[in-house]
């Protein structure tokens, strides 16, 4: 059984197909990224999986439980961090957390210990008794993150957890998420439109116009998509002839290039040849952002703009 199973899921609003027939599964302990432009259907999908929204059609299961019929049981097993802040500004950090722990039926003793552990892990121990309205945006975000994890959920849903954060806080948030995955085996479903953040996730799905256009390990997807560019610098005549003999093309100022699907193999073949005089070499692999743009296009998507839906070809 998988942590999450989604089968042919749809959600429509008066002709707008927010989620338009998506199917995927996520294994226990996976860090899974849901990537897509504004309006792609990420939040709608999360809300269905968290049982906050009913699908128009299709099925979804969390830990084997049906989102349409077993929402109460599902809510015990999941943690949720919304796109918008939902903290109580007039309570302290500790009170916000304790209130949440009580909602989930935790006893005071366990709750206090867990709160202290998580506060130190995320670096907010010194803010324990501060009113939330006095915390910075980044601190509030980190506080929401640990609140979502208080009751040790099996699956944690995070909707744009790093939106608007500075690079240091983003790095801190990701470090913490990965640490929780390692330490507690939490399955993590996260949406983001900061594409490069997802480069080291276990798997990602790219969603556009309510449809999944790619799913898999990010490195594998990049490799499937793209040919890397290998560049050698050489001025020695014999070396140049050898490089050209292997299909490399001069790209100016003593540089020779080839595009290849298997740069490692190409390098091994070339570097095993004796007598080569190579000044330098570079390998440039495509990055996740390029894959993403090639699948979702470069058109700018403003949030919640109504536009006629194009029929698009989808290369899987
Ligand atoms: N309550 C709603 N009523 C009508 N349309 C909605 C509603 N919620 C979302 N949508 C539409 O569904 C699409 C997907 O929205 P959403 O899931 O919020 O996208 P994302 O989180 O990827 O930015 C958008 O076109 C949005 O305008
Ligand atoms: Mg959203």
pTM: 0.85
Q: Whose CA is closest to atom 27 on ligand 1?
A: 304
By most ligand atoms within 8 Å of CB, the mutation choice from 11, 36, 41 for ligand 1 is 41
pLDDT in tens, 300-315: 776 544 444 444 444 3
Burial class (CB in 10 A: 0-12, 13-18, 19+), 311: exposed
What is the C-alpha separation between 204 and 216, in angstroms, rounded? 6
- Number of domains the chain is built from: 2
- Residues 153 and 270 grouped into a single domain: no
- Residues 208 and 234 grouped into a single domain: no
pLDDT attached to residue 302: 66
Tell me what the pLDDT averaged over the chain comes to: 91
- Identify whether 22 is part of a domain: yes
- Residue 316 above 70 pLDDT? no
Position in ligand 1 atom list of the atom nearest CA 19? 14
What is the C-alpha separation between 201 and 191, in angstroms, rounded? 12
Higher pLDDT, 43 or 274: 43
- Residues 218 and 231 grouped into a single domain: no
Rounded percentage of the chain residues whose pLDDT exceeds 90: 79
Ligand 1 centroid – CA 86 distance (Å):
20
**Contact assessment for residue 143 and residue 124, using Cβ atoms and an 8 Å cutoff:** yes
Alpha helices in the chain (DSSP H): 42-49, 71-77, 93-103, 108-122, 137-149, 167-184, 218-225, 237-245, 263-271, 288-296
- Identify whether 274 is part of a domain: yes
Q: Whose CA is closest to atom 11 on ligand 1?
A: 18
pLDDT attached to residue 303: 55
Position in ligand 1 atom list of the atom nearest CA 207? 22
- Residue 31 above 80 pLDDT? yes
Ligand 1 centroid – CA 38 distance (Å):
9
pLDDT attached to residue 313: 40
Ligand 1 centroid – CA 128 distance (Å):
36
Q: Is the CB of 72 under 6 A from ligand 1?
A: no
Which residue range is the domain that position 247 belongs to? 227-285
pLDDT in tens, 111-124: 999 999 999 999 99
- Residue 175 above 90 pLDDT? yes
- Residues 88 and 237 grouped into a single domain: no
- Residues 154 and 234 grouped into a single domain: no
- Residues 264 and 218 grouped into a single domain: no
């Amino acid at each position: 059984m998988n942590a999450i199973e989604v089968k042919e899921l749809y959600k429509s609003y008066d002709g707008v197909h927010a989620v338009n027939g998506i199917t995927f599964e996520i294994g226990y302990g996976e860090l899974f990224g849901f990537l897509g432009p504004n309006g792609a259907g990420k939040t709608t999908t999360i809300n269905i999986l968290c049982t906050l929204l009913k699908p128009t059609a299709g099925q979804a299961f969390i830990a084997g439980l049906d989102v349409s019929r077993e929402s109460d049981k599902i809510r015990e097993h999941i943690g949720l961090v919304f796109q918008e802040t939902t903290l109580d500004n007039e309570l302290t950090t500790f009170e916000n957390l304790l209130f949440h722990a009580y909602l989930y039926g935790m006893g005071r003793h366990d709750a206090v210990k867990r709160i202290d552990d998580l506060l130190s892990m995320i670096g907010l121990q010194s803010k324990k008794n501060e009113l939330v309205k006095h915390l910075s945006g980044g601190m509030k975000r980190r506080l929401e993150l640990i609140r979502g994890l208080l009751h040790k959920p099996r699956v944690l849903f995070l909707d744009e957890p790093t939106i608007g954060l500075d690079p240091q806080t983003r790095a801190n948030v990701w470090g913490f998420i990965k640490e929780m995955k390692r330490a507690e085996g939490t399955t993590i479903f996260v949406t983001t439109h900061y594409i490069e953040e997802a480069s080291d996730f276990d798997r990602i799905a790219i969603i556009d116009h309510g449809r999944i256009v790619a799913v898999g390990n990010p490195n594998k997807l990049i490799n499937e998509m793209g040919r890397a560019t290998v560049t050698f610098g050489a001025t020695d005549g014999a070396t140049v002839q050898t490089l050209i003999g292997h299909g490399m093309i001069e790209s100016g100022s003593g540089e020779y290039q080839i595009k290849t699907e298997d740069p490692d193999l190409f390098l091994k073949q070339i570097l095993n040849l004796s007598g080569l005089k190579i000044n330098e070499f570079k390998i440039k692999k495509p990055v996740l952002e390029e894959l993403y743009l090639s699948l979702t296009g470069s058109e700018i998507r403003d949030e919640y703009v109504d536009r006629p839906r194009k029929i698009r070809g989808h290369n899987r």
